[in-house]
Amino acid sequence: MGATFTLTVACVDDVEVPPKPPTLLPVTTPTPVPMQKLRGSRPANTAIVRDGEIVVPSGPETSWELEVALEPGDNGFEFFTQRPSGLRSRSAASAVIAFEQACPAAPMLTAQLPLATNQRALTLTGTKAKGTSVVVNGAEVVAADALAHVDQRFFDGR
């Protein structure tokens, strides 16, 4: 007759298996908006980790979101999932968002300057964006300040 044997099947708890990585929904890049809300999905009961720090705590939800502040230029983000045991996903979801600050509006003159004049001094009157300066021929003639109205007298230097 045949041999008799006992087969033991051991179940491996999924805590020992790294979680699947998170997903990250597409981001808008480049953007002039300094704050961005990143969103994606994750396995239930996992945290979202960025740079070794938990940025979205573990929970039963399978979606996640995180608001991030952008610095001018390229901003790189890499996210892993992590089980409560500390076991982290092998791969990550990543994105690069280019933050390009919007340029201020150009200053506006209230009145048109004469094309030709024999006067040695002219007064420019107009408006500018708050916190900006006015530059004429490469020289700053009105310093950056909180004022929006400009009334500046210029001399030709003769």
* Under 8 Å between Cβ of 154 and 122: yes
From CA 86, how far away is CA 88, in angstroms rounded? 6
End-to-end Cα spacing for the chain: 121
| pTM value > 0.95 | no
Task: Provide the pLDDT for residue 158.
Answer: 47
In a domain, 24, yes or no: yes
Size of the chain, expressed as the number of residues it contains: 158
Residues 20 and 88 in one domain: yes
Statement to judge: residues 53 and 112 lie in one domain: no
Q: Please report where in the chains the tokens 């051991």 appear, as a residue.
A: 10
DSSP state of 95: E
What per-residue confidence (pLDDT) applies to 17? 92
| Residues 71, 93 within the same domain | yes
pLDDT of residue 109: 77
CATH code at position 38: 2.60.40.10
* pLDDT averaged over 10-residue windows placed end to end, the chain, 158 residues: 67 73 96 95 98 97 97 96 97 96 79 73 76 78 69 57
| Residue range(s) defining the domain that contains residue 29 | 14-99
